[in-house]
Amino acid sequence: MGRITMTGTARRSVPYDRMKLSFELSDAEKSPAEAAAKTEAQCEELLGILKDQGFDLSQARIESISTGTIRPELHSGGTSAVFTASRRLSLDLEFEMSTVNFFTSLISEKGWEASMDTSFSVSEILKIRRELLKEALEDSRSKAEMIAGSIGQRITGIEEVRAGEQIPFGNDCAPLCGAGMLRAKSSLSDQLSAAVETVTESITVVWELQ
């Protein structure tokens, strides 16, 4: 009985279909109470707009709440301290470029002291990786069978399998947040598509020959 070791590979290009939007609302005032109150008011206004748009607010995440002080010598040569407050919120949404444009326009129109970060992901990445592992196994088998056939032998079993990485078998479907696409004034960038991630899996198999 002989053996042959063969590595199989599978890859797939998958467009990002989800995005995480993180908002940091902040303000600077002459007292910590004023700064906190104004930041909270901005936060409440943002949440009110989301609610009006049909969002489930329980899906919004508060990531941080902070307060601080800017020393006088760091604040335009002033003589009194300035107090700051900030809140960071995040939303996990289906990818829609028009939604990104909605929020950037909203921040500008409201004149908030706010920043927005955006990151993108694939919602069913674990499912895709599991499917690719199966495809990689078939690729390894196909190569091994071709070589075994060329020397008058056939595959009879598997002695050892080494996957490229450990793939957890959990539920990778992210919860849906909100009612979908938000409508602002139409812009050409609304038509932009999401970037594409190339997902690759490999598996090395020691096949038994006879």
Write the DSSP assignment of 55-109 as a string of letters: --GGG-EEEEEEEEEE-GGGSTT-SS-EEEEEEEEEEEEE--HHHHHHHHHHHHH
Residue 28 clears pLDDT 90, i.e. is over it: no
Residue 30 clears pLDDT 90, i.e. is over it: no
Mean pLDDT of 40-44: 92
Show the domains of the chain with their CATH numbers.
Answer: 2-15+124-209 (3.30.110.170), 19-121 (3.30.70)
Residue 62 clears pLDDT 70, i.e. is over it: yes
pLDDT, tens digit, for every residue of 155-171? 999 999 988 654 444 44
Query: What is the pLDDT, as a whole number, of residue 72?
Result: 55
Residue 20 clears pLDDT 90, i.e. is over it: yes
pLDDT, tens digit, for every residue of 186-204? 678 888 888 999 999 999 9
The 8-class DSSP code of residue 189 comes to G
User: What is the band of 148 on the pLDDT scale with cuts at 50, 70, 90?
Assistant: very high
Residue 175 clears pLDDT 50, i.e. is over it: no
Query: What is the pLDDT, as a whole number, of residue 171?
Result: 43
Nearest to residue 106, comparing CAs of 4, 25, 15? 25
Tokens of 154: 């056939």
Query: What is the pLDDT, as a whole number, of residue 76?
Result: 56
Q: Strands 61-70 and 155-163: what pairing? A: unpaired
Query: What is the pLDDT, as a whole number, of residue 173?
Result: 45
Query: What is the pLDDT, as a whole number, of residue 112?
Result: 87
Query: What is the pLDDT, as a whole number, of residue 77?
Result: 58
Nearest to residue 87, comparing CAs of 121, 105, 62? 62
The set of residues, in sequence order, having a beta carbon less than 8 Å from that of 106 and lying 6+ positions away, is: 46, 49, 184
- From CA 114, how far away is CA 25, in angstroms rounded? 4
pTM: 0.71
Nearest to residue 60, comparing CAs of 183, 171, 178? 178
Q: How does 16-39 read in b/e, with b if 16+ C-beta sit within 10 Å? A: bebbbbbbbbbbbbeeeeebbebb
Query: What is the pLDDT, as a whole number, of residue 188?
Result: 84
